[in-house]
Structure formats: structure tokens, C-alpha cells
Amino acid sequence: MKYSESLKKNEDFRQVYRHGKSRADRLLVMYVKENGLGKNRIGITVSKKVGNSVVRHRIRRLIKEVIRLSEEYFHIGYDCVFVARTNAKDCTYFEIERAIFRLFTMHGLMKRERE
């Protein structure tokens, strides 16, 4: 079952930045705001400072894949924006996964622990 979709509109990103809460990790920053919908909406931002387009898209794909494979662990009804930091450019899937789980835990959005 799919619990999340993409956050696409610039105005939606701005709302999350302006009215949401943020927590940071050495790899990612995560902004969260309740959306009142029955699903999560995920936005991903990777600036040109992080690397060229190949590097930026790789990071974006890793974040999307972690969310896709583990969305059952997260509470529903939130807009989440992930901002990649420059440290994320050389990371493995598992490092990104650990950072995302840590950030969801910091925000109190974990339903249950992973096995």
C-alpha cells in the first residue's frame, strides 16, 4: 500500500519551510508540517553545492527508495521536505537510511521500530 506521494508545488515547499519544524543530521535536514491528508507528501531538495546532476539525482533516488521501502514505519498525514547536505554526496544507501530513520525519530513520527 502506498502511503506517500511527491510534494511538487513551490508554494507547498514554502509552507513547509515557513510553518514546519526542522531537525538536522550531518547528512540531511528534515522539515515537517501536518497536512491533514491521509498520506504523507515528500519533497527532496539537493542544491548544486552538493555536486553535479548525476550526484544530485543519485541522492534523490536513494532518499526516495528509503521512503518507498519503509513508509509503513512512519506516521501518516505530514508534509516532509528533505534537504541534502554536502556530506551526503558520498553516502551509501544504508547511511542515508540511518539518517532518515534518525530524523523521523527526532520528529516523533515513527510508528514502530524496525526489526
Tell the residue number behind the cell numbers 514505519, with chain if given: 73
Which pLDDT value is given to residue 49? 94
Q: What is the tens place of the pLDDT at every residue in 3-52? A: 678 888 999 999 999 999 999 999 999 999 998 888 889 999 999 999 99
Q: What is the tens place of the pLDDT at every residue in 39-94? A: 889 999 999 999 999 999 999 999 999 999 988 888 899 999 999 999 999 999 99
DSSP 34-67: E--SSSEEEEEE--TTT--HHHHHHHHHHHHHHH
All domains in the chain, ordered by first residue: 4-106 (3.30.230.10)
Whether 23 and 106 have beta carbons less than 8 Å apart is answered as: yes
What is the pTM assigned to this prediction? 0.91
* The three three-digit cell numbers of residue 2, written as one number: 502506498
